[in-house]
């Protein structure tokens, strides 16, 4: 029986019924990764350690944890002890962390087997996975098309059925947008729900780790393990973690879903609109009620984000100086020259662009006009969310205004063109809210995603609504034809 | 944004830009600054900045050495080190 395209729940059943052993599952997963290496999903494989860990798992008649023996892929932004972690950057091309990120450690402690590290936009800066030092990742649905970004390798590995699930991080949509473009499910939890310790920082007040999987049910399983307070992360939330899996079969009669007036969905591609209308009907049949709501400042999300995120990035990335770790330039005149040459050789163009914008926004004379102003608008955006969540339970939007596009077709002349792809996803990062993307059909033979945004710490509501949608549709079961990649 | 400003920001960020790409970078930065400059039209009088969505003070812990604090392991990733320190080009003659 093939393991390809199987969910965690299905693989758990196969393991528990002894149709397959943990060792066989890991070996078949590694073989699938090799077979489809042209997708370029992985930067580094973890064959040896994965094989050893899997062989130590003895089948028993006891009830196993969901993740015992489950192969997972980790975004190459999570530090993994003894396993190269590059953030898809030349500057970290040889970096071997001495510790493991808490989110990954929790999954591994629950029995998961890390089979490799996935490709991504360099330092998570991008929406198409085209900024990786290790090359583009192909969308499994169409060769030469982007998988979305920045967690593009994780999304493609799940969509190609290589692994049942993978970790990702989301600073402005980096879990949800690639999940949408690849036809899978991806959840960005509430800011602080999952520890950021051991994640290589991009924008510290926006970054959040979360799962990418084939179903909302599988995302609930991963989130159960990943969540929880961590004293090593100073912004970790010390609040109760519900059992997300136990909560996903609740009826949604009377649940109020808001449609955001300011997003002008009527201006989108007619097929994107059609999928959205169909999803509204699906939820209406399930008993949900729809209302139009207004978030007057939400249209300012993109400029707000592109002031705050680069500012935080310019500060965070100052640690890459060629001294303590990472690339060091040769033949330098003095210490200052070493900093400049190491950074200039090590960072790619998009990372440099964002560091420069951030440096400008934080520099004397411009701080109030750009950085402080953006943080003030950020509060207005959060106030808008606080206000609408007094009258609705969930907000619903398309995940992305478009489906996947051809390599090199967006943002090369004007970077802002690519930034606008994040229009629907960015606001939940600014406000720290949870949001999920689920597949809801196709547009021109490419997957389209539906986004549900929830109130603070309401991941359970989102997972429940997403699960009910998947129980009443089969979009999440669609599989790409991978002939072009093997 | 003129070339002189671009040069100043580059120096502050300890980056140098390939001369062939200099005009393109300048144009890109102008486009992005124009995008974020659009925020000026929004009235934010008396609005407190929101620096973190949780609005909580970062938690602190005791400053004690623990098992995560192992010198040898961290020095191992350094491009140049001896058994105690990271090595850099001489800064004092």
In chain A, what are the domains? Answer: 8-257+390-485 (3.90.1300.10)
CA distance A205 to chain B (A): 5
The phi and psi torsions of B83 (rounded to 5 degrees) equal: -75, -10
CA distance B69 to chain A (A): 10
pLDDT > 90 fraction of chain A, expressed in percent and rounded: 94
Answer whether residue B29 is part of any domain: yes
pLDDT at position A460 is: 98
Q: For chain A, first and last CA: distance in Å? A: 19
pLDDT at position A69 is: 96
Q: How buried is B92 (Cβ within 10 angstroms: 0-12 exposed, 13-18 middle, 19+ buried)?
A: exposed
Q: Is the confidence at residue A61, as pLDDT, over 80?
A: no
Question: Is residue A52 annotated as a catalytic residue, yes or no?
Answer: no
What are the tens digits of pLDDT across the range A297-321? Answer: 999 999 999 999 999 999 999 999 9
Whether the CA torsion A182, A184, A188, A193 is positive or negative: it is negative
Full residue range of the structural domain in which residue B19 is found: 3-41
Strand partners, A442: A447
DSSP classification of residue A421:
G
| Contact of A219 with A187, CB cutoff 8 Å | yes
What is the interface pTM, i.e. ipTM, of the complex? 0.94
Question: What total of structural domains would you count in chain B?
Answer: 1
Q: Is the confidence at residue A255, as pLDDT, over 70?
A: yes
| Contact of A360 with B32, CB cutoff 8 Å | no
Distance CA A269, CA A365 (A): 42
CA distance A341 to chain B (A): 7
What are the tens digits of pLDDT across the range A274-293? Answer: 999 999 999 999 999 999 99
Distance CA A397, CA A384 (A): 16
Q: Is the confidence at residue A459, as pLDDT, over 90?
A: yes
| Cβ distance of B58 and A95 shorter than 8 Å | no
- Residue A329 C-alpha from the chain's centroid: 32
Distance CA A20, CA A370 (A): 57
Q: Is the confidence at residue A240, as pLDDT, over 90?
A: yes
Q: Is the confidence at residue A105, as pLDDT, over 80?
A: yes
The phi and psi torsions of A396 (rounded to 5 degrees) equal: -130, 135
Answer whether residue B56 is part of any domain: no
Q: Is the confidence at residue B60, as pLDDT, over 90?
A: no
Answer whether residue B87 is part of any domain: no
| Cβ distance of B76 and A339 shorter than 8 Å | no
| Contact of A165 with A157, CB cutoff 8 Å | no
Answer whether residue B51 is part of any domain: no
- pLDDT bin (cut points 50, 70, 90) of residue B67 is low
Answer whether residue B78 is part of any domain: no
Q: For chain B, first and last CA: distance in Å? A: 38
**Residue closest to A9 by CA, chosen among A222, A251, A227, A188:** A222
| Contact of A436 with A170, CB cutoff 8 Å | no
Q: Is the confidence at residue A59, as pLDDT, over 70?
A: yes
- Rank A219-223, A416-420, B83-87 by mean pLDDT and report only the highest: A219-223
Answer whether residue B18 is part of any domain: yes
Structure tokens at A182: 């690849």
Q: Testing the interface with A: which of B1, B8, B24, B53 to mutate, by most A Cβ within 10 A?
A: B53
pLDDT at position B62 is: 82
Distance CA A341, CA B46 (A): 43
- Please state the rounded mean pLDDT for residues A246-250: 93
| Cβ distance of B12 and A359 shorter than 8 Å | yes
Strand extents, DSSP E, A81-161: 113-118
Answer whether residue B77 is part of any domain: no
Answer whether residue B83 is part of any domain: no
pLDDT at position A307 is: 96
């Amino acid at each position: 029986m093939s393991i390809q395209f199987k969910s965690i729940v299905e693989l758990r059943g196969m393991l528990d019924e002894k149709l397959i052993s943990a060792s066989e599952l890991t070996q078949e997963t590694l073989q699938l990764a090799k077979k489809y290496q042209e997708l370029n999903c992985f930067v580094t494989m973890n064959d040896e350690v994965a094989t050893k860990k899997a062989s130590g798992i003895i089948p028993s008649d006891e009830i196993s944890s969901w993740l015992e023996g489950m192969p997972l892929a980790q975004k190459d932004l999570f530090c993994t002890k003894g396993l190269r972690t590059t953030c898809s950057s030349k500057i970290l091309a040889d970096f071997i962390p001495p510790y493991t990120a808490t989110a990954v450690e929790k999954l591994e402690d629950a029995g998961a087997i890390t089979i490799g590290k996935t490709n991504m936009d360099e330092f998570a800066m991008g929406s198409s996975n085209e900024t990786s030092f290790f090359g583009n990742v192909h969308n499994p649905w169409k060769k030469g098309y982007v998988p979305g970004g920045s967690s593009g390798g994780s999304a493609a590995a799940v969509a190609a059925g290589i692994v049942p699930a993978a970790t990702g991080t989301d600073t402005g949509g980096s879990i949800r947008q690639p999940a949408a473009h690849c036809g899978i499910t991806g959840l960005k939890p509430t800011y602080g729900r999952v520890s950021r310790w051991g994640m290589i920082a991009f924008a510290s007040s926006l970054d959040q780790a979360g799962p990418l999987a084939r179903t909302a049910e599988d995302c609930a399983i991963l989130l159960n393990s990943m969540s929880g307070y961590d004293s090593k992360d100073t912004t970790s939330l010390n609040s109760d973690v519900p059992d997300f899996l136990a909560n996903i079969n609740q009826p949604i009669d009377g649940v109020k879903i808001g449609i955001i007036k300011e997003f002008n969905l009527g201006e989108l591609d007619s097929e994107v609109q059609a999928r959205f209308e169909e999803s509204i009907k699906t939820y209406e049949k399930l008993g949900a009620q729809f209302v139009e709501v207004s978030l007057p400042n939400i249209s300012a999300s993109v400029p707000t984000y592109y002031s705050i995120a680069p500012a935080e990035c310019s500060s965070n990335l100052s640690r890459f100086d060629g001294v303590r770790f990472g690339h060091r330039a040769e033949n330098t005149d003095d210490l200052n020259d070493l900093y400049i040459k190491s950074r200039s050789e090590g960072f790619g163009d998009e990372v440099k662009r964002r560091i420069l914008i951030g440096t400008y926004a934080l520099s004397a004379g411009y701080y109030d006009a750009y950085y402080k102003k953006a943080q003030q608008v950020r509060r207005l955006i959060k106030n808008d969310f606080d206000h609408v969540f007094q009258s609705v339970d969930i907000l619903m939007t398309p995940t992305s205004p478009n489906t996947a596009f051809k390599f090199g077709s967006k943002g090369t002349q004007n970077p802002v063109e690519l930034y606008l792809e994040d229009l629907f996803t960015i606001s939940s990062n600014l406000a720290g809210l949870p949001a999920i993307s689920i597949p809801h059909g196709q547009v021109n033979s490419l997957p389209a995603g539906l986004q549900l945004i929830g109130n603070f710490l309401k991941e359970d509501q989102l997972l429940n609504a997403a699960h009910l949608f998947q129980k009443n549709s089969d979009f999440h079961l669609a599989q790409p034809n991978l002939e072009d990649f093997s | 944004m003129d070339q002189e400003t671009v040069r100043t920001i580059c120096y502050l960020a300890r980056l140098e830009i390939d001369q062939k790409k200099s005009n393109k970078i300048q144009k890109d930065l102008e486009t992005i600054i124009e995008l974020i400059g659009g925020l000026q039209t929004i009235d934010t009088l008396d609005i407190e900045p929101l620096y973190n969505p949780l609005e909580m003070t970062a938690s602190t812990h005791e400053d004690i050495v623990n098992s995560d604090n192992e010198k040898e392991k961290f020095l191992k990733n350094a491009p140049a080190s001896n058994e105690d320190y990271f090595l850099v080009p001489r800064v004092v003659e």
